[in-house]
Amino acid sequence: MLSEKMVKELNNQINEELFSSYLYLSMSSYCNAQGLAGFSNWMRVQAQEELSHATKIFDYLLERNAQVTLGSIEQPKHEWKDLLNVFEETLAHEKHITGRFNLLMSVAVEEKDYATQSFLKWFIDEQVEEESNVDTMLSKLKLIGDNTSAVFYLDQEASTRVYVAPTAE
């Protein structure tokens, strides 16, 4: 049985993931408005991933016979300075989410909740990948600067990203 504290934090994380999905959809819209359909796609895939994370936590709570409590989702911002700023904020947000999963793991350890520790390991591994993917894109954007041809090329690369549903573990 999950402790009350663990249930509360997992419910909070569902909302964090849903907000993340909203944020990345907003970034997708911004990129599309800038004529960057590839980056719009990249962010839309990111939004799908975050929604799947929320669903995975939702399902875990149900599987453990815990009450799911969905809170309000804050409206994300919708304007950015430029594409570089979008990815700087994406990396900062992913680091925030990593911190949230570290907190969840700390609670699971404190509560001696070994099943939840096992469940959370997937997310912690996923966050390493998330931060790396965003950091790679951010490094490329910093490297190319204002070179519109290079931005166009990178936009084409971003258009090839596809959503892959997480495998059951």
pLDDT tens-digit readout, 13-29? 999 999 999 999 999 99
> Residue 67 has what pLDDT?
97
pLDDT for 62 equals 98
pTM summary value: 0.95
pLDDT at 169 over 60: no
Highest CATH level, class, for 4-158: mainly alpha
For range 56-75, the mean pLDDT: 98
CA–CA separation, 46 vs 36, rounded Å? 15
Integer CA distances (angstroms), 132 to 40, 56, 114, 125, 139, in order: 19, 22, 27, 11, 10
pLDDT in the model for residue 167: 76
Task: State the Cα–Cα distance between residues 2 and 6, nearest whole angstrom.
Answer: 6
Q: Is the pLDDT at 82 greater than 60, yes or no?
A: yes
In angstroms, the Cα distances linking 150 to 33, 140, 155 are 19, 9, 8
* Number of residues assigned to the chain: 169
Mean pLDDT confidence for 72-78 = 97
The domain ranges of the chain are 4-158
Identify the band that residue 8 occupies on the pLDDT scale cut at 50, 70 and 90. Answer: very high
What confidence tens digit (pLDDT) does each residue in 128-155 have? 999 999 999 999 999 999 999 999 999 9
117 near 105, Cβ under 8 Å? yes
